[in-house]
Amino acid sequence: MSRILTTVLALAMAIGATGQSVPRSTVLSSPDRCGALASLDEQDAEIASARMIPPAPPGTVLANRFTGATVQVPLPGYCRVQGIVDPRKAADGTTYGIGFALALPDNWNGRLLYQGGSGFNGILNEPLAAEPSGQSALARGFAVISTDGGHQQRGNPLAFLDDQQAALDFAFNAVPTVTRLGKELAARFYGRAPHHTYSAGCSTGGREGMLAAERYPLLFDGVVAGSPAMKVWHSQLAAWNAQVAFNRIAPKGADGKLLPREAFSPSDQRLLHAAVAAKCDALDGLADGFVNDLAGCRFDPGALQCRGGKTASCLSEEQVAALRTAFGGPRDSQGNVVASGFPYDLGLLGEHVGNAASVLPSGVPTQFGPPPGALDLSVDKEIERIRGNPMAMLTDTSRWTDLGTFYRRGGKILFYHGASDPWFSVLDTIDYYERLTAANPGIDASRLYVVPGMAHCGGGGTELFDILTPLVDWVERGAVPEAIDLAQAQTNDRRHRLGRRDRARGRRQRGREHADRCRSSSGMPGKEGSLTD
């Protein structure tokens, strides 16, 4: 692990030396100027505290909320402002309002970053912006603002949806509200407004970046949208579909309860993993443990089906059928796939971290999964319910593809998504990216980086990479992003890279990289990569 962290920090230092296109502010904050922010009356915001936090030597910082991964990061001194916008009491006495925390660093680089949330929000995360690189945007001089999304979790994480304004704040309103406030407060503190504003986040944070680019095209100059929760209810249906398929073939314990994890024995899982590797790893030109050509990976578990009785070297007919159902995506009674399934990627065994680590059953109940032991799923009924769900419509960011205003202002948006994400399928992001590209012809302002092996916003050993620096360089210097190095443990002197989603270019790049035999690129799957039909 220390080797990984060393790589990350070395990378951070290299980037810091070359990636800074704008002179750093020489303005130094003072405790008085920070404290003075507490008395401001801004946008109906009540500022509860504004105080200087002294510089800190390298300390443990949560680098990934989804996996709990930490890094050692030195932090600058900063003015930390916390407050709430539009506080009010609901009919049931619950206090609502859009909570925010803002960090204004001494070494300000002139930029503001909105730090995306996660899940259904409800938690005010420290504004360090350490995802996904583990480098902390605050440490790099960004002013950073975070929000709880308009409510504070109290037991039931979905209770806030019963409150109209809290639901609207979560769906979209919190993002522009706190971002505009952050710009105002930064201008007051530093004496000048941020020259560029960014959004970075994963899952719900990725969705928030997308919704800003789609609905508030004047708000950000650049967006990092990781594993975006762009159609949550559809994704949830796909996850249920997989779990029910596996429940149906799971054995029962002595207490009569289903044991989903035992639907595939450890040797069955290794067999499946080896078969996917044999079929698909080398398609990208390098047998390196990563499937970088998802589109070319035409794996069918039927190849493993026993010809006779079940043995350790084959899968039963029922196991094969369950895999086809789970990875193929939920089908309605007419046989139509109504939500994306999942590609076969070598992260499919997952590191069982977080609440959604693998498409294969982990035995760990998922936060939003079906009731334990569920054996039935009416896809017709569920999809009908989703299509009529106003909250699903309001939070859906998968449909709007016109980013004309955002792009014409010079806006750029970088997506990343784990190929082994068992919750929000990478196939949805590939599909959106293709529609986005088609809907904005002639504009080169977006990239999608598919992360091999990575689960939902982390895991797989491929979760640490710096995507913020290439975004800033593209927005501010016009430097078109290319492949991104993964800051991970290196094997056989090869360093893995995340390539751009362009097959022809991927092939050319693979050719070059074969030549130097030092790096492997990540060819991105094309539309034919959809395995859901």
Active site amino acids? 203, 421, 456
Closer to Ca ion by Cβ: residue 176 or 285: 285
Amino acid at 312: A
Closer to Ca ion by Cβ: residue 286 or 320: 286
Write the secondary structure of 14-44 as one string of H (helix), E (strand) and C (coil).
HHHHHCCCCCCCCCCCCHHHHHHHHHCCECC
DSSP letter at 525 equals: P
State in angstroms the smallest separation of the CB of 281 from Ca ion.
4
Closer to Ca ion by Cβ: residue 193 or 287: 287
State in angstroms the smallest separation of the CB of 437 from Ca ion.
25
State in angstroms the smallest separation of the CB of 289 from Ca ion.
7
Candidates 279-287, 362-370, 419-427, 471-479 — which segment interacts with Ca ion by CB under 5 A? 279-287
The dihedral over CA atoms of 149, 154, 157, 162, expressed in degrees to the nearest 10, equals: -80
Indicate whether 290 belongs to the interface with Ca ion (CB under 5 A).
yes
Taking the C-alpha atoms of residue 481 and residue 467, their distance in angstroms, rounded to an integer, is 9
Contact 359, 326 (CB under 8 A): yes
Q: Which residue of 42, 262, 288, 380 would you call a contact of Ca ion, by CB under 5 A?
A: 288
Q: Report whether the peptide linkage leading into residue 132 is cis, meaning its omega lies within 30 degrees of zero.
A: yes
User: Which CA distances in Å does 15 have to 23, 406, 468, 473, 519?
Assistant: 15, 27, 11, 11, 19
Candidates 128-136, 273-281, 325-333, 341-349 — which segment interacts with Ca ion by CB under 5 A? 273-281
Closer to Ca ion by Cβ: residue 280 or 326: 280
Closer to Ca ion by Cβ: residue 128 or 297: 297
Find where tokens 């196991």 sit: 319
How many chain residues bind Ca ion (CB under 5 A)? Answer: 5
State in angstroms the smallest separation of the CB of 450 from Ca ion.
13
Taking the C-alpha atoms of residue 246 and residue 373, their distance in angstroms, rounded to an integer, is 10
β-strand pairing of 412-418 with 446-451: parallel
Closer to Ca ion by Cβ: residue 172 or 299: 299
* Interface of this chain with Ca ion, residues 489 to 528, rule: CB under 5 A: none
Per-residue tokens: 213:
């680019």
Write the secondary structure of 96-160 as one string of H (helix), E (strand) and C (coil).
EEEEEEEEEECCCCCEEEEECCCCCCCCCCCCCCCCCCCCCCCCCCCEEEEECCCCCCCCCCCHH
Taking the C-alpha atoms of residue 61 and residue 104, their distance in angstroms, rounded to an integer, is 18
∠ at Cα 379 (373, 384), nearest 5°?
A: 130
Phi-psi region of 239 (alpha: psi -120 to 50; beta: other; left: phi over 0): alpha
Closer to Ca ion by Cβ: residue 310 or 494: 494
Candidates 59-67, 75-83, 168-176, 281-289 — which segment interacts with Ca ion by CB under 5 A? 281-289
Candidates 210-218, 276-284, 391-399, 431-439 — which segment interacts with Ca ion by CB under 5 A? 276-284
Taking the C-alpha atoms of residue 416 and residue 419, their distance in angstroms, rounded to an integer, is 10
Contact 112, 194 (CB under 8 A): yes
State in angstroms the smallest separation of the CB of 508 from Ca ion.
17
Candidates 153-161, 203-211, 241-249, 286-294 — which segment interacts with Ca ion by CB under 5 A? 286-294
Nearest CA-CA partner of 469 in 120, 98, 38, 113: 113
Q: Which residue of 284, 431, 466, 513 would you call a contact of Ca ion, by CB under 5 A?
A: 284
State in angstroms the smallest separation of the CB of 520 from Ca ion.
7
Contact 40, 102 (CB under 8 A): no
Indicate whether 281 belongs to the interface with Ca ion (CB under 5 A).
yes
Helix axes 379-387, 232-249, angle to 10 degrees: 170
State in angstroms the smallest separation of the CB of 454 from Ca ion.
15
State in angstroms the smallest separation of the CB of 449 from Ca ion.
16
User: Which CA distances in Å does 172 have to 230, 393, 533?
Assistant: 12, 12, 32
CB atoms within 10 A of CB 369: 18
State in angstroms the smallest separation of the CB of 4 from Ca ion.
20
Taking the C-alpha atoms of residue 507 and residue 491, their distance in angstroms, rounded to an integer, is 22
State in angstroms the smallest separation of the CB of 499 from Ca ion.
12
Closer to Ca ion by Cβ: residue 42 or 288: 288
- H/E segment holding residue 175: helix 174-190
Say whether 115 sits in a helix, a strand or coil.
strand
What are phi and psi for residue 379, nearest 5 degrees? Answer: -65, -40
Closer to Ca ion by Cβ: residue 110 or 418: 418
Indicate whether 351 belongs to the interface with Ca ion (CB under 5 A).
no
Closer to Ca ion by Cβ: residue 285 or 363: 285
CB atoms within 10 A of CB 400: 16
Contact 276, 507 (CB under 8 A): no
Amino acid at 283: L
Query: Residues in the site for Ca ion, rule: CB under 5 A?
Result: 281, 284, 286, 288, 290
